[in-house]
Every structure is written in structure tokens, then in C-alpha cells.
């Protein structure tokens, strides 16, 4: 890494949108590569921070580092970032205070909180302080990437869309009707919400935990892979009788819905 | 001897002694006020009497003077002076020469005082030579005569002295007895305290089995000792639990850690190279995920046992929530070859931690699926949410091999995996977590026979139940209506 002496480690000189050649094509994550994001990582553990910076760069994003709360706050307030990754326990100014100050300044940048603290009410405190998502350490990098990309997309206008389209699959949010190649597909309410969430994040990886949190609103460990069975039932309804599969399993990460090669 | 001194000194420095000394001092102070007042009153009364007599005599003598002049007065005074009594007289002419009376001179204490007063004199008849106390007033007989009428009040003084002595003696005896009593009481308490101190010292040195002796007479010291003993029981239980946990951690965490290490080593030694490394790394991640799960469950249990989680309590319909969680498992249950039956009573509104209740239900259904495999093929797992005599309850029953009555208590403990389940995957923390969630909601977990199989009942406290649907906030009902 370039500067190890200062607490702020700016990746100066890196292009806002890297050329396609700089992208890591080995990535199995299947993220939308046209959607490079500027991410600020505020994390005091240098090794973790540099791992995140390197990994995010491999996935086509740019990442700046701050190793304490004050440096992070000033960087976040100045720079136009798409997503902030904030550790809860930071020197000088703790993560929740950083988020509170940003929100008080009217800064609405999506924030992913990283924490080694337990899940039960720390999560509630984190979200109450203005965080948008919460991830407990230790986490899988694929989980973090999926969440960062989902947060980055949050500001996109498609959230207000009344209809989602992936290939020939159409979900109409007003009539709650799902059709593929003009053929009506009958879904259970839960299957409908599952599909809606997947299509809302079309082209992005959605992890099992994200599905559990957003489709079911459960923040606990279901012990077994219950989500897989639900997804395979949904898949049977939308993909089975058609040539081209749209709902793909991303190994080691989760699922993605997209019109393209699996 | 020095030991006795030491013991007395120790007793004297106790709170009990301090308190009894303060009580004695206060009592003495109160008694001194009362006695002082009585003494003052009595003295006043006696003085008044004497003054009354003197005034009467003065009046008689001045009428003698009016009737018979100075000679008659001198005769009467002379006669009265010769009487064996307490009366004292002194009559002089205007030049100051004594005419009659039993006093030799005007007492120096009275020469300047026109109202009379107290003085001391040397009585003629007293062979001991001690001076007596007396009181006298001057009688106004015109400028030619000077007459003083007085009374010996030595008796009154002796009376006052003896009263003073009696009180001083009484006070002395009272304070000594009071302080001795205080010392005795504090010795008694000190003995009990010494026992408590000795016990706590040996506990601090590591002997948690020690208990404070009780006298068996009841009373506040026994109550204190019993409370402390109960606290010690709880601490001992927690310590034993901790010891058990660390033993189990050694087993349940070290084993997978060792497996993880073995997998990595095996991959490194594998001659296939890159492909084997990849497999090895994937296996390593998988195994570390299992470890993380165990850690998370352990931390969560520790967290729940540490105290309430006020921040995240919400009001919700237990029936529809349990139904909801069970539905999440329906496809997985069917995939495993079992049926899931859900019986949810309506309108059981509770104030509880929704996520933790969800976790508990998830753990129970997950266990039921795992253990059903050992029993009747194709059997039904029944999930119920209901009201049990005013308490919100959840039950999950399976038709697996069940748990024998002797093992049920043990099964709720952390890390305990009954032999039958050793081969099953899992952290061994599932039921303990359910028990911790129940305890957090002031409830309990009961394991019963499902004829055949196991039925786990989670009973929450009646406090968690919201009386009726009307009491539930409107947003909750709206949320339910939307479903």
C-alpha cells in the first residue's frame, strides 16, 4: 500500500471508473461491472482495511481508507462516496458517532456498519444511529460485497419502478402479476416477495442472509439452508418450462437474477 | 491478658458498641435534664418557704418596734436569739454598735445589698467550726435602727448535696452498665461477623463450598447469612457452569479446530497441487463457518444470561409470527420427508424480543427435523402457539427417538449432546439457546414425552402477554392485516 504512516490512506490517482482492462475478470460474483462505486472504508485494523480495499478494487470499485473516526468523518463529509463501510469501534470517534454526525449534516450516503458486537440489540442501535445495513464480524467477503453493491444501488431511481423486467420475465408491482414470455405465473405471496427482491437487485448478487432479512424480516440464524428450498421452488416456477434460466446460484455467495449466461 | 485487652478494644471499635454508647449518652443527657429540672424546682420551693418565714418575722418585729420602741425590739430580738432554732438576728443602732441578736456582725456579703441574700457564718454552738450557709433579709425600721433577720439553711444545703451525690453515683453506674452492655452486644455480633468474615476469606481463597453458619434462631443476622448463602449457591452454580462450559469448549471447539487444521495440512500435502489447494481452502472456509456459528451461539447465550435487552422488545401476534417462522421451514421439512403441522391460536399478543423468539422456534424446528430421522419415517412435526393458563406458549413436537426422562434435565445444559445425537451436525447449543431465550422472558422450557418422540414447550412469563388485541399498537395490527 502507498502510505502506511498517515492515518488516511487515499487512493489518489485511481480513476473514478476504471477501464475494463483493469477489472478482475476472474470474479465469480457476477456484479454489474458497469456500476463501479466509490467506497470509503473507515476501519482501524489496517490488515482488514487493506484487504477490503484490495478486494473491492478487484471487483471494480475504488476504495479510500481511514483508520480513525475523525479522519473518516472529514473524508466522508468532503468526498462524494457511494457507500461508507464503518467499523463500530474506532479510535478518536466511534463509528456510531461518525454516522450520527454525518446524518446531522444532512449527508445521506448509505452506510454499512461492521461490528464485532453481538447481534441482538446492537443491530437495533446501529440502525437507529442512521446506519443502513449491519454486518457482524466475522463475515464472508461475498456477503459484504453483495451488501455494499445493494446499498450503492439504493439511490438509483429504479426503486420507484412499478414494473421489473429481466429478459422476458416481467413482474408488475401494481397488479402483483408475474409473466414470462406472456405466460402468467402463479406465485405464493412469499414467492412473489422473494422474486420482487431478486428482481429489484437484478444483476447483483443477493445472499441468503439478505433474503432472510429483507423478504422475511428475520435477523436470526435459521440453522439449515431453508432459503435454498424456497429459491428452488421459485426457480421451478419461473425457469422450469423455459429454455433460458434466469435465476442463477452464485457459488459460495448466494443468488442472482439476470438475463445472460449463468 | 493482652488478648483480652485486644478483644475488648476490638469490641469497642465496632459499630454496635458505638451505637450503644451513643444510646447511653443520649439517655444520660435526657436524665440530666429531668433531674436538673426537679432539683431546681425543689430548691426554688424551699427558698420560697424560707423567704416567707423571714418576711413574716420581719413584719412582727417591725410591729414590736412601733409598739414598744427600740427597747422592746431589743428585748424581743434577744429572746428570739436565745431560742434553740434556726433563726438568726442582728440588731444595731445608727452608729453600727450591736444592741441584740445571735449574729456578731452584719455579714460582709449583705452590707451593700438592700434585698438581703445568702451568706455563710460561724455558728456559736457548732463545735466542729464548719461554717454554715444562711439566708437573711434586712428589716426597714427607719434610720435609727439596723435589723437583719436570717435563717440557717445548712439542712437544705446538705439535702441538695446528698441528692447531687445520689444522681452522680446513679449516672456513673448507669453509664458503666450501659457501656458494658454495649460491649457485650458488640462481642456477640462480632462473633457472628467473625464467622462470616472467616467464611468469606476462605471463599476468596477458592473454597466455594464454604457456607456461613446460621444460629437457627431466625432474626436479621440469620436472614443475612441465609441470603449470603443463597448468593454463594448461585455463584457456585455459575462457576460450575463456567467450568463445565470451558471443558465443553475444549471439546466442541477444539475438535472442529483440529479438523480444520487437518484439512489444511492434507491439502498442502496433496500431490494434485492447485486443485487440491482450492478444495482444501473451500473446506477450511466451510469449517471456519461452523466454528463461527458455535461462537455466535455461545456469545448469544452469554449475552442473554447477562441481562435484559430492553432496546429490542416489541409487541406482536405470537400465533401469526410462529406460523410465519414455521412456514419458512415447511419446504425444508417436506424435502426431508416429514410433514409440518402448524396450530396457531389467534390473538395471542406478546411483548417480547421477536428475533429471539424466532431464533428459538427455528432451533426447535431444526432439532425436530434432525431427530425425526431417527424415528418414524414420514411422521409429522407439530408446531403450536397457544395460551397456557394466561401464559404465552410455543411447543414443537416430533416423533423421533425422544429423550429419556433422566436425560431431559441434562439436555437443556450448554453443549450437552446426548449420545444419540453425537452423529448429528450442530453446535449442541440449540436447546440451551432456547432455554436462555425463555429465561430472558422470565419463562422456562419443559421437555415432555410426545408418545413417541419429544415435545419441547417454551413457556413465556404471563407478563409478556398483552391482555387483548386492543392493547396492541395499531402498527402491529396493520402489519398483520397486510399479511
Q: For chain A, which residues make up each domain, given as ranges?
A: 8-153, 157-257
Q: Would an 8 Å CB–CB cutoff place B72 in contact with chain A?
A: no
Residue A32, pLDDT above cutoff 70: no
Domains A8-153 and A157-257 fall in the same CATH topology? no
Number of structural domains in chain B: 3
pLDDT in tens, B174-184: 888 888 888 88
**DSSP letter assigned to residue A217:** -
Contact A197, A249 (CB under 8 A): no
Bridge partner residues of A250 (DSSP): A254
Looking at CATH, the fold of the domain delimited by A8-153 is given as Rossmann fold (3.40.50)
* Residue in B closest to A117 by C-alpha: B299
pLDDT in tens, B23-52: 888 888 898 898 889 888 888 888 888 888
Task: Determine, yes or no, domain membership for B58.
Answer: yes
Torsion (CA) A157, A163, A164, A170 in degrees, nearest 10:
-170
What confidence score (pLDDT) does residue B261 get?
87
Average pLDDT over residues A2-28: 38
ipTM above 0.85, yes or no: no
Q: Determine the distance in angstroms separating the CA of B300 from the nearest CA of chain A, rounded to an integer.
A: 7
List chain A residues with CB under 8 Å of B353: 120
Residues B271 and B389 in one domain: no
Helix (H) or strand (E) holding A103: helix A95-104
What confidence score (pLDDT) does residue A40 get?
92
Residues B118 and B260 in one domain: no
Strand B380-388 and strand B391-397: the pairing is antiparallel
Residues B296 and B337 in one domain: no
CA angle A133, A14, A1 (to 5 degrees): 80
Asked if A225's CB is within 8 angstroms of B311's CB, the reply is: no
Q: Nine-digit cell at A61?
A: 470499485
Using CB atoms, pick whichever of A125, A189, A226 lies closest to residue B311: A125
| Cα distance between residue A30 and residue B158, in whole Å | 118
pLDDT band at residue A30, thresholds of 50, 70 and 90?
very low
Average pLDDT over residues B455-479: 67
Task: Determine, yes or no, domain membership for B342.
Answer: yes
Range of the domain at B292: 253-304
Residue A98, pLDDT above cutoff 60: yes
Residues B261 and B313 in one domain: no
Q: Would an 8 Å CB–CB cutoff place B424 in contact with chain A?
A: no
Task: Compare B480 and B298 and report the one with higher pLDDT.
Answer: B298
Task: Determine, yes or no, domain membership for B289.
Answer: yes
Which of the listed residues B134, B160, B186 is the one where a domain comes to its end?
Answer: B160
List chain A residues with CB under 8 Å of B436: none
Q: Class of A157-257 per CATH?
A: mainly alpha
Amino acid at each position: 500500500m502507498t502510505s502506511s504512516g498517515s492515518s488516511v490512506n487515499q487512493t489518489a490517482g485511481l480513476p473514478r471508473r476504471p477501464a475494463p482492462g483493469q477489472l478482475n475478470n476472474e470474479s465469480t460474483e457476477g456484479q454489474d461491472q458497469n456500476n463501479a462505486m466509490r467506497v470509503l472504508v473507515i476501519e482501524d485494523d489496517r490488515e482488514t482495511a487493506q484487504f477490503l480495499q484490495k478486494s473491492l478494487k478487484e471487483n471494480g470499485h475504488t476504495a479510500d481508507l481511514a483508520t480513525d473516526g475523525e479522519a473518516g468523518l472529514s473524508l466522508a463529509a468532503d468526498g462524494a462516496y457511494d457507500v461508507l463501510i464503518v467499523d463500530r469501534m474506532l479510535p478518536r470517534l466511534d463509528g456510531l458517532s461518525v454516522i450520527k454526525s454525518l446524518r446531522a449534516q444532512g449527508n445521506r450516503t448509505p452506510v454499512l456498519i461492521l461490528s464485532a458486537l453481538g447481534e441482538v440489540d446492537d443491530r437495533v442501535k446501529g440502525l437507529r444511529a442512521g446506519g443502513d445495513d449491519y454486518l457482524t464480524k466475522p463475515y464472508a467477503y461475498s456477503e459484504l460485497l453483495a451488501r455494499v453493491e445493494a446499498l450503492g444501488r439504493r439511490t438509483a431511481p429504479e426503486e420507484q419502478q412499478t414494473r421489473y423486467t429481466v429478459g422476458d420475465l416481467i413482474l408488475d408491482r401494481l397488479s402483483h402479476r408475474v409473466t414470462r414470455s406472456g405466460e402468467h405465473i402463479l406465485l405464493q405471496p412469499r414467492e412473489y416477495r422473494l422474486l420482487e427482491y431478486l428482481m429489484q437487485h437484478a444483476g447483483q448478487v443477493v445472499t441468503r442472509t439478505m433474503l432472510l432479512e429483507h423478504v422475511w424480516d428475520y435477523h436470526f440464524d435459521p440453522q439449515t439452508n431453508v432459503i435454498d428450498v424456497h429459491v428452488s421452488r421459485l426457480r421451478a416456477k419461473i425457469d422450469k418450462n423455459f429454455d433460458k434460466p434466469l435465476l442463477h446460484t452464485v457459488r459460495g455467495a448466494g443468488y442472482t437474477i439476470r438475463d445472460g449466461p449463468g | 491478658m493482652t488478648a483480652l485487652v485486644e478483644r475488648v478494644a476490638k469490641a469497642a471499635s465496632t459499630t454496635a458498641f458505638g451505637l450503644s454508647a451513643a444510646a447511653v449518652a443520649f439517655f444520660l443527657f435526657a436524665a440530666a435534664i429531668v433531674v436538673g429540672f426537679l432539683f431546681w424546682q425543689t430548691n426554688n420551693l424551699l427558698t420560697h418557704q424560707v423567704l416567707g418565714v423571714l418576711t413574716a418575722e420581719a413584719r412582727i418585729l417591725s410591729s414590736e418596734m412601733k409598739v414598744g420602741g427600740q427597747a422592746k425590739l431589743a428585748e424581743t430580738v434577744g429572746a428570739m436569739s436565745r431560742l434553740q432554732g434556726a433563726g438568726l438576728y442582728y440588731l444595731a443602732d445608727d452608729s453600727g454598735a450591736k444592741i441584740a441578736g445571735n449574729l456578731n456582725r452584719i455579714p460582709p456579703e449583705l452590707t451593700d445589698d438592700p434585698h438581703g441574700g445568702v451568706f455563710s457564718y460561724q455558728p456559736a454552738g457548732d463545735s466542729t467550726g464548719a461554717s454554715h450557709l444562711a439566708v437573711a433579709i434586712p428589716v426597714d425600721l427607719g434610720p435609727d435602727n439596723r435589723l437583719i433577720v436570717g435563717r440557717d439553711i445548712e439542712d437544705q444545703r446538705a439535702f441538695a448535696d446528698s441528692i447531687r451525690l445520689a444522681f452522680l453515683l446513679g449516672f456513673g453506674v448507669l453509664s458503666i452498665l450501659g457501656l458494658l452492655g454495649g460491649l457485650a452486644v458488640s462481642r456477640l455480633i462480632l462473633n457472628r461477623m467473625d464467622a462470616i468474615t472467616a467464611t468469606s476469606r476462605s471463599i476468596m481463597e477458592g473454597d466455594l463450598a464454604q457456607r456461613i453458619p446460621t444460629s437457627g434462631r431466625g432474626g436479621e443476622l440469620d436472614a443475612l447469612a441465609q441470603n449470603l448463602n443463597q448468593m454463594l449457591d448461585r455463584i457456585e452454580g455459575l462457576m460450575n457452569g463456567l467450568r463445565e462450559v470451558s471443558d465443553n469448549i475444549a471439546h466442541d471447539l477444539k475438535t472442529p479446530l483440529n479438523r480444520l487444521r487437518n484439512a489444511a495440512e492434507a491439502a498442502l500435502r496433496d500431490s494434485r497441487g492447485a486443485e487440491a489447494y482450492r478444495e482444501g481452502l473451500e473446506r477450511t472456509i466451510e469449517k471456519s463457518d461452523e466454528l463461527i456459528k458455535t461462537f455466535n451461539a455461545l456469545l448469544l447465550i452469554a449475552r442473554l444470561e447477562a441481562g435484559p435487552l430492553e432496546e429490542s422488545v416489541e409487541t406482536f401476534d405470537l400465533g401469526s409470527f410462529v406460523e410465519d417462522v414455521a412456514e419458512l421451514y415447511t419446504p425444508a421439512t417436506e424435502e426431508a420427508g416429514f410433514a409440518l403441522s402448524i396450530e396457531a391460536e389467534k390473538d395471542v399478543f406478546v411483548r417480547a424480543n421477536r428475533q429471539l423468539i424466532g431464533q428459538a422456534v427455528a432451533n426447535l424446528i431444526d432439532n425436530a427435523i434432525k431427530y425425526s430421522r431417527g424415528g418414524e419415517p414420514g411422521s409429522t412435526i407439530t408446531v403450536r402457539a397457544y395460551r397456557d393458563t394466561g401464559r404465552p406458549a410455543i411447543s414443537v413436537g416430533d416423533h423421533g427417538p425422544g429423550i429419556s426422562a433422566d436425560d431431559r434435565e441434562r439436555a437443556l445444559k450448554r453443549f450437552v449432546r446426548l449420545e444419540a445425537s453425537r452423529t448429528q451436525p450442530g453446535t449442541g447449543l440449540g436447546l440451551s439457546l432456547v432455554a436462555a431465550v425463555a429465561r430472558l422472558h422470565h419463562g422456562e422450557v419443559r421437555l415432555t414425552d410426545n408418545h413417541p418422540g419429544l415435545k419441547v414447550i417454551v413457556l413465556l412469563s404471563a407478563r409478556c402477554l398483552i391482555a387483548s388485541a386492543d392493547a396492541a399498537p395499531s402498527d402491529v395490527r396493520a402489519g398483520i392485516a397486510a399479511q
